[in-house]
């Protein structure tokens, strides 16, 4: 096959996007399904391809923080401080939107989500394109986000005009979403940029509301980011007990462990060792879930991760992957 150089690929991606097409783009968090944020037809196509409900708003990706004012009506000092500290990077800011921002992008809300992603190829595409690109995670609604070009291909295949291969995503879980539009800063979706890190930059406390069920953010539905295989999250101690009581129909199973406290010896239970630090764990999480989901297991058992703030985004995604299946629920079965 004709082998394009990276520059040619970037020019091609920008041309497709200008013409209203869709390009899957690598970011540092997960792959996004990119389209022109000012083009209603492109935005409509994204919702159709993702099979995503219309009232779930999209994030607008920018090449540079200097473009903020083209989208946001009000940019508080905290927005500039955070952009300076974390962009390009895995932080999304919710700000009051300018009137011309498409309703289909914002789900009819008066706010818009904005971020500058940290991936050289996608930054180059954004510069060549010369505007904002909406880019929801490049998976079908409620499925695990893709962190490699192969995973995008498996999710959306030929429904996209181009997949820009930028290798495996560095961070591995979606950006932290911070609402700056209603007074007190509030985290709507935890990510690898923690509340403490944000608080340290803006010098004020940061609230968290992601545990409440907010229909505006699909990432907040319990059954989101979910593998097809039944998935449970249990502590190391619970895992032993749980495995002993599994019936033949529940096996074989795979167990994702990060600590050395899990001692399982069962012919039909495969152990996968996950990293014991949050950064590396996040990097591997979705790829691991995807691989194990397509393997012939009846069960994915995941060891619960530490309760501290470094792991918060991962705890959140594990809870969603398991649809809230934890020890309390499994015990009552």
- Please report how close the Cβ of residue 202 comes to ligand TXA at its closest, in angstroms: 19
Binding partner selected for residue 92 from Mg ion, ligand TXA, none, CB under the kind-specific 5 to 8 Å limit: ligand TXA
Can residue 231 be called a binding residue for Mg ion (CB under 5 A)? no
Which of 22, 72, 125, 188 lies at the binding interface for ligand TXA (CB under 6 A)? 188
Q: What is the CA radius of gyration of the chain?
A: 20
- Please report how close the Cβ of residue 172 comes to ligand TXA at its closest, in angstroms: 10
Which of 177, 193, 287, 304 lies at the binding interface for ligand TXA (CB under 6 A)? 177
Build a one-symbol-per-residue string for 65-84: x at contacts with ligand TXA by CB under 6 A, - elsewhere: --------------------
Which of 12, 216, 221, 266 lies at the binding interface for ligand TXA (CB under 6 A)? 216
Can residue 174 be called a binding residue for ligand TXA (CB under 6 A)? yes
DSSP letter for 2, please.
Answer: -
Can residue 123 be called a binding residue for ligand TXA (CB under 6 A)? no
Whether the CB-CB separation of 102 and 132 falls below 8 Å is answered with no
Which of 39, 78, 104, 106 lies at the binding interface for ligand TXA (CB under 6 A)? 106
Nearest to 311 by CA among 164, 155, 192, 176: 192
Can residue 322 be called a binding residue for ligand TXA (CB under 6 A)? no
According to DSSP, the β-strands at 133-134 and 32-36 are antiparallel
| Beta carbon nearer to Mg ion, 75 or 106 | 106
CA distance linking residue 40 with residue 63, whole number of Å:
20
Q: Look at the alpha carbons of 275, 27, 92, 39 in this order and tell me if their dihedral is positive or negative.
A: negative
- Please report how close the Cβ of residue 279 comes to Mg ion at its closest, in angstroms: 21
Span from 13-21, 31-39, 124-132, 134-142 in contact with Mg ion (CB under 5 A):
134-142
Whether the CB-CB separation of 152 and 138 falls below 8 Å is answered with yes
| Beta carbon nearer to Mg ion, 210 or 299 | 210
Backbone angles phi, psi at 4, to 5 degrees: -80, 145
CA distance linking residue 102 with residue 58, whole number of Å:
10
Binding partner selected for residue 56 from Mg ion, ligand TXA, none, CB under the kind-specific 5 to 8 Å limit: ligand TXA
- Please report how close the Cβ of residue 327 comes to ligand TXA at its closest, in angstroms: 27
DSSP letter for 145, please.
Answer: P
Can residue 137 be called a binding residue for Mg ion (CB under 5 A)? yes
CA distance linking residue 303 with residue 8, whole number of Å:
44
Bridge partners, 271 (sequence order): 255
The separation between CA 325 and the C-alpha centre of its own chain, rounded to angstroms, equals 20
- Please report how close the Cβ of residue 210 comes to ligand TXA at its closest, in angstroms: 10
Which of 38, 56, 153, 221 lies at the binding interface for ligand TXA (CB under 6 A)? 56
CA distance linking residue 191 with residue 173, whole number of Å:
7
Span from 29-37, 235-243, 257-265, 308-316 in contact with ligand TXA (CB under 6 A):
29-37
Can residue 218 be called a binding residue for ligand TXA (CB under 6 A)? yes
Whether the CB-CB separation of 74 and 96 falls below 8 Å is answered with yes
Q: Which residues contact 239 (CB under 8 A, 6 or more apart)?
A: 255, 257, 262, 264, 301, 303
- Please report how close the Cβ of residue 166 comes to ligand TXA at its closest, in angstroms: 12
If 0-12 CB within 10 Å is exposed, 13-18 middle and 19+ buried, where does residue 94 land? buried
Residues that bind ligand TXA (CB under 6 A): 27, 29-30, 32, 56-59, 90, 92, 94, 106, 109, 111-113, 117, 135-137, 174-175, 177, 188-189, 216-219
Residues that bind Mg ion (CB under 5 A): 137
């Amino acid at each position: 096959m004709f082998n394009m150089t990276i520059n040619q690929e970037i020019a091609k991606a920008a041309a497709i996007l200008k013409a209203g097409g869709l390009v899957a783009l690598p970011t540092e968090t997960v792959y996004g399904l990119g389209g022109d944020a000012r083009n209603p037809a492109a935005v409509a196509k994204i919702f159709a391809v993702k099979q995503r409900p219309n009232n779930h708003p999209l994030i607008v990706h920018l090449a540079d923080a200097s473009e903020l004012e083209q989208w946001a009506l009000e940019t508080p000092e905290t927005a500039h401080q955070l952009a300076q500290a974390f962009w390009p990077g895995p932080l999304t800011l919710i700000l009051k939107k300018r009137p011309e921002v498409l309703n289909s992008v914002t789900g009819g809300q008066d706010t818009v989500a904005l971020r500058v992603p940290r991936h050289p190829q996608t930054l180059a595409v954004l510069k060549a394109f010369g505007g904002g690109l909406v880019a929801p995670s490049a998976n079908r609604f409620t499925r695990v986000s893709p962190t490699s070009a192969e995973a995008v291909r498996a999710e959306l295949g030929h429904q996209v005009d181009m997949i820009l291969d930028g290798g495996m995503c560095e961070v591995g879980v979606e950006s932290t979403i911070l609402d700056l539009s209603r007074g007190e800063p509030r985290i709507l979706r935890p990510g690898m940029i923690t509340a403490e890190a944000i608080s340290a930059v803006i010098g004020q406390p940061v609230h968290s509301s992601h545990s409440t069920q907010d229909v505006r953010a699909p990432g907040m539905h319990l059954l989101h980011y979910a593998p097809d295989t039944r998935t449970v999250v249990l502590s190391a101690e619970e895992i032993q007990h749980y495995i002993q009581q599994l019936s033949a129909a529940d096996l074989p199973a795979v167990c994702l462990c990060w600590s050395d406290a899990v001692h399982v010896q069962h012919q039909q239970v495969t152990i996968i060792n996950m990293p014991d630090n949050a950064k590396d764990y996040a990097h591997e999480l979705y790829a691991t879930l995807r691989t194990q989901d397509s393997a012939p297991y009846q069960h994915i058992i995941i060891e619960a991760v530490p309760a501290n703030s470094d792991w918060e985004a991962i705890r959140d995604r594990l809870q969603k992957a398991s649809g809230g299946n934890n020890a309390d629920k499994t015990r009552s079965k």
